[in-house]
Amino acid sequence: MEPALKRLVVVSNRLPVALRKDEDGWKLKQGSGGLVTAMAPVLKNRGGMWIGWSGTSDSGAELDGLMDDFTEEAGYELCTVPLTEEDVDGYYYGFSNEIIWPLFHDLQSRCRFHPRYWRTYLDVNFKFAEVVARRSSPEDYIWIQDYHLMHQAFFLKSMGVRRNTGFFLHIPFPPPDIFMKLPWRAKLIQALTEFDLVGFQTVQDRRNFVGSLHRLMPEARVEGRGAVVTINMGNRSFRAGAFPISIDYAQFSDMAARPDVVQKAFDLKEALRHRKIILGVDRLDYTKGIPERIRSIQTLLRRYPDLKGKVNFIQIAVPSREEVDEYKELRTEIEQLVGRVNGEYSFPGWVPVHYHYRSLPHEDLVAYYAAADVGLVTPLRDGMNLVAKEYCACNNKGDGVLVLSEFAGAAAQLQKHAYLVNPYDVEGIAKALHRALYWPIEERKAHMTRLREQIRRGNIFRWVDSFLRAGIAKSLDDFPEADTVHFNRV
């Protein structure tokens, strides 16, 4: 009898696919975003499984068939957790995005602490845990992703299901004074302590978590030093660590070197008459600091008239949560700001701000990265921010400048060679941009070379490897690629 296959089972709110329905029925394609980029190469042909919500409340044989086809093509198994519209409204739009998202990004004034949201969040977490229990085996490693599913280990244990569980928080963990505003703070902290390993983006996030833990559970004792520590709770212990997420550096750098992408980047610069390009790329979200960034560009043009006609700011905003009023208002605010700056400074042949509200094909985005002289990454608060790393990876000429918010998780890693700014300081950002645009080429190249090398060494595979080593004393090599993987359908 063959030994049980030790699989990596990833559990996240959404499956790594995007579903769209038209007159011909459902269409399915590989999803985008940092998590999909991170995990798909790791699961492929290693017998892995991804458990999550499909993104729709509909279900049926047609959808199941599409999932099966994707499984065969992608090299890992998909498993769907069915959710109703009420589930999605209370758990996703409610608790996750109207409470945890703003609270953990230090924007507690935006929180709506409705008790109904909390109850639905628990109900949906229990549904996920039931699927995990049914579709996984005791030999599997269960890696839970992000703030939507913080109760997975708690519910698995309550069902008497023994699994080795790891949890990674992709967003920041707030300071104790902010976390303590959550009405369900003690229950949430308790749930996180039930995981065998809890991972954060930065050491500061881990410290914030430990600070909140000490306030709510004074008996907790931290042992060890370094990126990963052990936390003793009296009768049991778990580990907590910092694991900064990254990108597939080679994929971005190689694509930026492709002749067709090089041509796209050249065409972009040609269209802008080879002016200096400042680039911002973000999902449309109030944590990203896009309005503040546009005001910074306005300040730049006002304070440094020598730049008029010589620089273009391109802001790419990827649509997000378009049905939520807050995001509609943000989109309107940004469009009005862009109109104001362009109305004030444009002249025939030059419009300073180019604003694109849409998703771009991957190769087009890489071309924008490659063409940009300055990457302007200024979130008000961010867990990591992979755009900063993607920009550097695509800067094969090595002469770009990264202007980075000190409140992005990436700043902890990249601070020595990026130009750090306070995203609320529009005059400070304007000054940083002016300096970056006039930096000597040798200095720019020295800093960008070091940034690129740092990101190349600390790539996405190293992130996964470091988490697995801390969680189960295994590395990526212990989940080898197989020529043929047989998926067990239950």
The three-state DSSP-derived secondary structure of the chain is CCCCCCCEEEEEEECCEEEEEECCEEEEEECCCHHHHHHHHHHCCCCCEEEEECCCCCCCHHHHHHHHHHHHHHCCEEEECCCCHHHHHHHHHHHHHHHHHHHHCCCHHHCCCCHHHHHHHHHHHHHHHHHHHHHCCCCCEEEEECHHHCCHHHHHHHCCCCCEEEEECCCCCCCHHHHCCCCCHHHHHHHHCCCCEEEECCHHHHHHHHHHHHHHCCCCEEECCCCEEEEECCCCEEEEEECCCCCCHHHHHHHHHCHHHHHHHHHHHHHCCCCEEEEEEEECCCCCCHHHHHHHHHHHHHHCHHHCCCEEEEEEEECCCCCCHHHHHHHHHHHHHHHHHHHHHCECCECCEEEEECCCCHHHHHHHHHHCCEEEECCCCECCCHHHHHHHHHCCCCCCEEEEECCECCHHHHCCCCEEECCCCHHHHHHHHHHHHHCCHHHHHHHHHHHHHHHHHCCHHHHHHHHHHHHHCCCHHHCCCCCCCCCCCC
Q: Assess whether pLDDT exceeds 80 at residue 313.
A: yes
Q: In one letter, which amino acid is 388?
A: A
Q: Assess whether pLDDT exceeds 90 at residue 171.
A: yes
132 and 225 part of one domain = yes
Contact call for residues 230 and 222 (beta carbons, < 8 A): yes
pLDDT category of residue 21 using cuts at 50, 70 and 90: confident
What is the tens place of the pLDDT at every residue in 253-302? 999 999 999 999 999 999 999 999 999 999 999 999 999 999 999 999 99
Q: What pLDDT does residue 69 have?
A: 79
pLDDT (mean) for 226-239: 94
Q: Does 289 map to a domain?
A: yes
Q: Assess whether pLDDT exceeds 70 at residue 62.
A: no
Q: Does 483 map to a domain?
A: no
50 and 132 part of one domain = yes
Q: Does 172 map to a domain?
A: yes
192 and 315 part of one domain = no
pLDDT category of residue 1 using cuts at 50, 70 and 90: very low
Contact call for residues 278 and 312 (beta carbons, < 8 A): yes
pLDDT category of residue 61 using cuts at 50, 70 and 90: low
Highest-scoring range by mean pLDDT, 38-47, 181-190, 219-228, 463-472 = 181-190
Q: Assess whether pLDDT exceeds 50 at residue 122.
A: yes
Q: What pLDDT does residue 218 have?
A: 96
Low-confidence winner among 41-50, 156-165, 435-444 (lowest mean pLDDT): 41-50
pLDDT (mean) for 357-386: 97
Q: What pLDDT does residue 33 have?
A: 62
284 and 210 part of one domain = no
- In sequence order, the β-bridge partners of residue 315 are 280, 355
Helix, coil or strand: residue 67: helix
Contact call for residues 235 and 277 (beta carbons, < 8 A): no
Q: Assess whether pLDDT exceeds 90 at residue 18.
A: no
Domain with 31, as residue range(s), is 8-245+460-478
Q: What percent of the chain has pLDDT over 90?
A: 78
Q: Does 380 map to a domain?
A: yes
Q: Assess whether pLDDT exceeds 50 at residue 484.
A: no
Q: In one letter, which amino acid is 360?
A: L
Q: Assess whether pLDDT exceeds 90 at residue 11.
A: yes
232 and 149 part of one domain = yes
Angle among Cα 50, 486, 33 to the nearest 5 degrees reads 25
Q: Does 175 map to a domain?
A: yes
Contact call for residues 250 and 458 (beta carbons, < 8 A): no
224 and 345 part of one domain = no
Q: Assess whether pLDDT exceeds 70 at residue 3.
A: no
CATH number at residue 134: 3.40.50.2000
CA distance 143 to 243: 14
349 and 325 part of one domain = yes
Low-confidence winner among 31-40, 393-402, 436-445 (lowest mean pLDDT): 31-40
Q: Does 1 map to a domain?
A: no
pTM of the full structure: 0.94
284 and 241 part of one domain = no
Q: What pLDDT does residue 393 have?
A: 98
Q: Does 486 map to a domain?
A: no
Contact call for residues 317 and 282 (beta carbons, < 8 A): yes
Average pLDDT in the chain: 92
Q: Assess whether pLDDT exceeds 90 at residue 99.
A: yes
pLDDT (mean) for 472-490: 58
- Closest residue by Cα to residue 383 from 167, 248, 150, 200: 200
Q: Assess whether pLDDT exceeds 90 at residue 250.
A: yes
* Spatial CB neighbours of 415, under 8 Å, sequence gap ≥ 6: 404, 406
E-assigned strands of 64-157?
A: 77-80, 141-145
189 and 316 part of one domain = no
What's the structural domain count of the chain? 2
203 and 97 part of one domain = yes
Q: What pLDDT does residue 278 have?
A: 98
Q: Does 59 map to a domain?
A: yes
What is the tens place of the pLDDT at every residue in 404-425? 999 999 999 999 999 999 999 9
Q: What pLDDT does residue 35 have?
A: 67
171 and 309 part of one domain = no
Phi, psi of 25, deg, nearest 5: 110, -160
276 and 221 part of one domain = no
Q: What percent of the chain has pLDDT over 70?
A: 94
Q: Assess whether pLDDT exceeds 70 at residue 68.
A: yes
Other C-beta atoms lying within 10 Å of the C-beta of residue 278:
27
Q: What pLDDT does residue 323 have?
A: 81
Catalytic residues: 170, 382
pLDDT (mean) for 232-241: 94
Q: What pLDDT does residue 481 have?
A: 65
